[in-house]
Amino acid sequence: MDTTQRTEQQSSADRRRRELLEAADRVVLRDGPGASMNAIAAEAGITKPILYRHFGDKGGLYAALAKRHTDALLASLRAALDAPAARRERVEATLDTYLAAIEARPQVYRFLMHPAEGGTGTDPGFDTGKHSVPLLRRMGEELAQVIEERVDLGPAGGQLARVWGHGIVGMMHAAGDWWLGERPCSRAELVRSLADLLWGRLAAAGDRVGGPGF
């Protein structure tokens, strides 16, 4: 097989994988954590063994969907952090971006963060911690990198940026999870309250010299 054929085959496989993930997305939007491999295969117009051939098992499909949605969310968060606005406004915009994402697609959020809720019969759910913790850790590391690039936190800035990154992600996740379930206040009120909590030392820190600022 020559290089052109291999490239065409890879392109075809990538396109088919995207189509299957889009079918899975539609089922997750409808069924949330209860989304099953049978339902996803039916939505894609294929048999379950073919779906397994592409993703291995439900865990493999979950990982692919998690990467797809986490990549999109991180891109949105970075855009909010880099917007041409005052630092406090960017902090609020970043918090609002996260909350708006889980509010807009609550079934996807529950599938990713509470997958064990959907476990039944021969198509069980997941160990929630096993699958959701890596997503939160990835977001924490990404946010830490952004903070370190933009804020002068002194000699131990790298370590402090990681503490802040993981702490902020944990706060957003816990507060957002509670808010999505109970809706005790408006999204704007929650954003302002969380920004108030974060604002103390962040307001006092200087921008990193030569960096993009924050």
**Cα radius of gyration rounded to whole Å, the chain:** 20
Tens of pLDDT, residue by residue over 92-134, are: 999 999 999 999 999 999 888 886 655 544 455 444 456 677 8
Q: Is residue 174 part of a domain?
A: yes
CB 37 within 8 A of CB 51: yes
Question: Distance (Å, rounded) from C-alpha 132 to C-alpha 140?
Answer: 13
Q: Is residue 16 part of a domain?
A: yes
More confident residue, 135 or 177: 177
CB 86 within 8 A of CB 78: no
Whether pLDDT at 88 is above 70: yes
- Phi, psi for residue 206 in degrees, rounded to 5: -85, 165
Q: Is residue 93 part of a domain?
A: yes
Q: Determine the average pLDDT of the residues in 69-73.
A: 90
Q: Is residue 201 part of a domain?
A: yes
Token output for 1? 């097989």
Question: Distance (Å, rounded) from C-alpha 8 to C-alpha 35?
Answer: 32
Write the CATH number for 37. 1.10.357.10
More confident residue, 200 or 154: 154
What percentage of the chain's residues is helix, strand, coil (to nearest 5)?
A: 80, 5, 20
Q: Which pLDDT value is given to residue 177?
A: 95
Beta-strand (E) ranges in the chain?
151-152, 206-207
- How many distinct structural domains can be found in the chain? 1
Question: Distance (Å, rounded) from C-alpha 209 to C-alpha 205?
Answer: 12
Q: Is residue 145 part of a domain?
A: yes
Q: Which pLDDT value is given to residue 111?
A: 87
Domain that holds residue 166: 3-207
Tens of pLDDT, residue by residue over 166-176, are: 999 999 999 99
CB 151 within 8 A of CB 205: yes
Please state the pTM of the whole predicted model: 0.80
Q: Determine the average pLDDT of the residues in 52-60.
A: 85
Q: Is residue 193 part of a domain?
A: yes
Residues in the chain: 214
Whether pLDDT at 38 is above 80: yes
